[in-house]
Structure 1
Amino acid sequence: MATIDADEGDADRLQYKFNGDGDLHFRDKGHASRIISGILDSGESTSFQDLVRETLTEISLKSDNTEEDFDRDTTSYHHATVLDIFREFRRTGRHCDVTLCVGERAIPCHRAVLAAGSPYFKLLLLGGFAESCQERVRLEEVSAESVERIVCYVYSGCLTVSRGTAEELLHSSTMFQLPAVTEACCRFFLHNLDPENCFDIQALAESYYCSELAKDVRGYVMNNFPAISNTERFELLTCGELVDILTSKTCHWSKETLLESVLNWVKSSKDERLGDLPVLLSKLDLRLIKETYLENVLRRERVLTESEESAKIVAAAKTAIEDLKPKEGDTEVIVQVGGLSGSEKVQNTPGVYGNATDKITEVDCLDPATMRWASLTHLPGHLKYFTHNVTASDADVYVLATSEDEQVTEAWRYMTQSNVWARLPGPRHHHRGSVAMATLERRIYVIGDRLKAGADVTTNEVYSPSANQWEAVPHVHVGVFKITMVTCGGKLYLLGYSGDDGIVRVQTYSPGDESWEVFWVPDYHAMKRQFQTMSCGSLIYLMPISRAYKMYALDTHYRSWVQVHNPKQSHLQCGWTTLGGRIWLTGGREFHFYHNPHIECYDPDEQTWTIMGAQTSGIRRGHVCVHVSSCDWIAERLSRSPSGARPAPAGDWGWMDELLAAQWSQYGLQSSMEFGLPLDIDSE
C-alpha cells in the first residue's frame, strides 16, 4: 500500500521491519541527504549553513586520510555523519536556536534542521511569521511525546511505531506534513488489523485522509466479515453502516452469512433495533438462501417474523426460492470448471505447441442431448491461480480454492439457477493443494491435503448448506496418498496407497458413523499411481494413464476389480461425470501431448465408448466436470450456440490433425497426419 507518491528507488530507500510484538521499525536511508541538502539549498547564506559546510569539509578530509570502502556512497555517508553530529549537538544544546514548547516540556532544536525535514516547520520557522523570530515556539493540539518522537525522526530518519504511539504519530505526521512517517503508520495499522479493531482503524484512516489505508481496511472487512460480525465492536455499528456493508459491490458473502450477521446485530439491542430489521432484510436477496437453511433459521429465530413487515419479506423470499428450484423433468447439463488450457503456442512461434500453460477461469456447460456448448460464468478473478477442488449438489457448484503461497483456503458456491457466486464460511482447516472432495446427502465432504489423508482429524470436515457451517469428520484409519474420493451406494469411498506394496486401501464412510471402514484390494495394474475415479451404478471406474494400460473398475458389492473397456483415446487429467446412467468425459491429455479436445460417452449396458464431439473452445485438462439441472437462462444461452460436432470422418478434424502433427514433430515422433484422428482402440 502507499499513502504517498513513491519515487523511483523508494523500495530500496525505505526500510520496514516488524518485530515479534508487532512494532514497526522504520528507516529512511536517504533521509540524511535530504536534510543536509535542504539546509544548504535553503536560500541566502546563514551561519548555520557555514557550520554544515565546515563539518562536511572536516569529515571529507578525515575520510581522505583513512582507508575507506570506495564502493560506499561517500556523499550519503558524509551526510549521515553530519546529521549524527547535529543530533549530538541537539542533545547537549549546542548551536540550538529554537525551543519547541509543548505543554510543560521544552524541546531544543536547530531551526534549519526542522525546516529541512518538514514543510510545516519550514513555513512556521522561516516563513516570515512571528515564530520566525521567536526563540521559543509553542505547539498546540499535539502531545509532547509525539513531538519528541517526530524531532528524533527528523534528526535520524528512524522511527519505531507501536500500539501505544501509532495513533498520535499519525496525527503528528499529518500535522507536520511528513508523508514517510504517515506511510509507516499506515503500514503498522494494516499489519496489526484484526476483527476487533478494523472499524476503528477505518475511521482513523478516513479522518486523516489516508485513502489507501481506508481502502485496504474495507477490503479486510469484506474478506473477514464472518469473524468480524461476531465481535462486540460489530454490534456498535449504526444501521446505516451495516447497510453500507450489505450493499457493497465487493461483498460476495452468501446471503446465509449476511443474514446471520443481521440477526446478531439486531439481537444485541433488540428493543432499539427490531424496527431496523425490515430495512436490513430488504437489502438482502433472500431468494438466494438455501431453502433448508431458511427453514432452520425460522424455527430458532422468532425475531424474523415478529413484525408484520419482516414476515412479509420472509414469505416473499420463500415463494421466490420455490420458483428458483429445479423442476421435475428439467434437463441436465455438464458443467466444466477450472483446469489448464491446452492449445497455447510456445513463444508465439506459429505451429509449435507445448506445455506453456495458463489457468482457465471460464465455467462452461454442455447439453449432451444437443451437443451445444455455452459459457456460463468465470471463477472469481482472484481465484485464478488457486488450486480448484470442485463438486456439485442440487443445482449448485461448490469450489474449494486453496493457495499454498498465500496460505489461504476459500469456499465458494456458484448457484446456476440464478447465475450468482457466493462466498461461504471458511473451512476449519487450511487445506493445501488438491484434496478429496465429494457430495453425500447434500453435504460437502473434504478430506486431506496435497492428495494425502491421514490421522489428522482437522483435515477431514464437511460443509452443511442447511446450517451454513463446517463440522469435523472422523479421521481415516489408514494414512494414504494419491487419494481420490467418490460417492457410491450412499457411502463415501476413499481410495489410496499407503506404501510400496501395490495394495489399494479403500476406506468407506456413511453419515452418522463414528469411524471409517477399511478394506484393501490388490493393485489393479503396474503403472504410475495416478487416480481419477468416477462412480456409475455399483462400480467405481479408474482412468488409466493411457490406452497402453487397461481400464479397471472396483465392484463395491464384491470388493474386487473388474476389467472394463478403455475410452477410444487417452484422456489423462480429463473431467468426467455421470449423467443419465452414462459416464461422460471431456478433454484431458492425449498421453504425450497436452491436450485432447474430444468428448466421449460410456454406456455401461452396452459396454461401449463413443466419441460424441469436441470442446469448441477452452480445451482443458486437469479440470472437473459435474452435472446440474438446467434452467431457463441456461437453456436460452445454449439455444444461441451452434450445434456441437457429432462423430465425423477424420477429414472433418483438420485443425486437430494440424495441431497434433506439430506436437508429434516437436517430440521427434511419427507424424499423426498419417492417422487422421489420434489412434483409438477400434483402429488398433
Structure 2
Amino acid sequence: MASRPRDSFTFRDSELPMHLLSQLNGLRQSRVLTDVLLCSEEQEFPCHRPVLVSSSPYFRAMFCNNFLESSQARVNLQGISSSVLSGIVDYVYTGCITITMESVLPVMQAASMLHYVGLFEACSQFLQEQLSPENCLSMIRLSEILHCESLREHAKELAVRSFSDVAASEDFCELSLPELMSYLEDDRLCAEEEQVFETLLAWIHHDPFSRRGAIHDLFKRVRLRFIHPTYLFQFIANDPLVQSSTLCTEIIDSVRRLMLSVSSKCSRELKPLWTTPRRYTCRETLVVVGGRKNNEQTSREALLYDERTQRWQWLAKLPLRLYKAAYVCIHSILYVLGGLSLCMASGDSSVSATVYTLSLKTNQWRTAEPMLQQRYAHQSVSYLHFIFVLGGIGVDKKITPSLERYNSMFNLWESMAPMPTAVLHPAVAANDQKIYVFGGEDELQNPVRLIQVYHISRNLWCRLETRTVKNVCAPAAVIEDKIYIIGGYTRRMIAYDTKANKFVKCENLKERRMHHSATVINNKLYITGGRVLNAHDTIEDSDCFECYDPKTDVWTSKGSLPYKLFDHGSLPLVCVTNRPNPP
C-alpha cells in the first residue's frame, strides 16, 4: 500500500551558511559590492556594511545610526594595528583566526573594542591554557585591565591552588595589601597555616618601612587554631614583627590562656579568629596503620584511603614492628605510642615507651618525646592540644590504671590521676572536657560493666555502674554529642548521648566483631578490619571496610582493605590538597 504523501516538508541546508560566508569572502577579496573601507596604518580593507553590521554590535551602532561613519566610504579604526585588523576582517568572513602569544593581547583588545564576544573569549581561553604559577598573578592584573572575568577566575583559582609556588614568584611581593588579604582570607588557599604566616612575613620584609604597620590586619587572617602550639608559641610569638604589635601579642596571650584553661570556650574578642573553620583544601583522610596482618605477623604498613579514587595508597613503613601500640592524631600528625617491640631475629620482645610520628607533608617517621611509662594494649585519645594515654599492660605484665598526657603546648608528658578501676580493651572517647572509658575486662578477662569518666580540667575521675555496657575490644567514636560504641564480641552498636545521659540503640553490625578500629570523617563513622565470629562460632580475621551514616542509621560497604587486619589504628589525618572540591 502506498504511503500517504506529506502535506509539508521543511528543508534545512546545513551547508548553506558556510557556503554564503565563503561566497561573501570571495566577493570581498575581489572587491565586488564592497561599500566601505576599514583603514589602519595606511592600509585599507574593503568590506560589506551588512556583513559588519551582522557580525558586531559596534558596527551596527556605527552604520545604523546617525553617526558620521554611516555615510563615509572610509572608516579609520584608531588603536588597532593593520595586522590585527586584517586578522579580524578574515575572522568576520571565515570564522577563523590564528591566535599566538605575540598577537593575543592586541587581538583581545580589538575584540573588546569591536564587541566580538566570541573572539574575546577565545583569546581568554588561549591565555588560560598558558597559565602557570609563575605568571598567574600578572595574568590577574591583565584580566582586570581587559575586564575579562573568565581569565581572572581561572588565574585566581590557580594562584590559590598553587600558593606555595606563587608565593615564591617575583610578582607576589608586589601585591597590594588588599590583594594579599584576599588571598589569606580565601578558603580555597592550598597552604598550611604555618606557611600562611611565613608568607605574610616575607611580604612585609620586602618593604618593611611601609608595610610593617599591616602586621595586625594580616595576622588576623592566620587561622591560629590549626597551627601546632610549639610553632605558635616558640616561633610566631617570638617573631620581632609580631612582638612589635600590641594587638598581635594580645591575640597570642588570649590563645595561651585558652589552652591553659583546658577549655574549648574562648573570649568574645578571640572567638571570630578561633572559630574560623579549616580551609577547603584541608581535608580529613582515612589512615590505617599497624596491627596484625593476615594473622601472620605485626604489620609495619601505613595506608591512606583516597575517597575520590576509592583506592588505598601505601605510606612510609613504621620503623619497627609494634604489637598492640596505641594510635592517635593531633595537629595533622599521626602518633604511634608504645606497644610491644618485637625482634624478629631473636624472637625477644620488650615493652616500649617510644613515640613515633608521621606527617603526610614529609611522609617520614620520626621519634618524639617518649611516654613516661612503657606499656602496650593501652588506649589513647586526643583532646584540644593534649594526647591522653591510659591503661594497658606494663613491664610487670599487669594491667595498669595509670593515665598520662602529652601537652603539645610545652612538648611535655605528665602523670595524671589514675583510673579508679584498671581495665583492658575498653572503648575510649573524649568529648566536652571529659574522657569516657566504657567497659573493658579485668585481669580475669571478665567484662566490666562500668563507665569511668575523667574530668580533664579537674584531673578527677568518677565511675558509674551500668548494665547497658558490656563491651570488650570495641572502639568508640564521637559524632557531635554522641559516643558510638561499635561491637565488641557482639553485633550491637549503641550511642551514648552525653547531653541527655542515656544510651540510644543503633543499627546492628552485619557480624559479631572485635579488635576492629573506628574513626569519624565528615560526620560519618568508618570501621576497618577486626575479627569476626561466624555462624559456626569460629573466629576469622576480616578485611572489611564499612561506613555508618548516623543521619540515616544505615551501614554501607566501602569495599575491603588490601589485606586482613586487626588490632590496628584507623584515624582521620588532615592533609592539604590542591585538587578542586568534589561536586
TM-score norm. by structure 2 comes to 0.50
TM-score norm. by structure 1 comes to 0.43
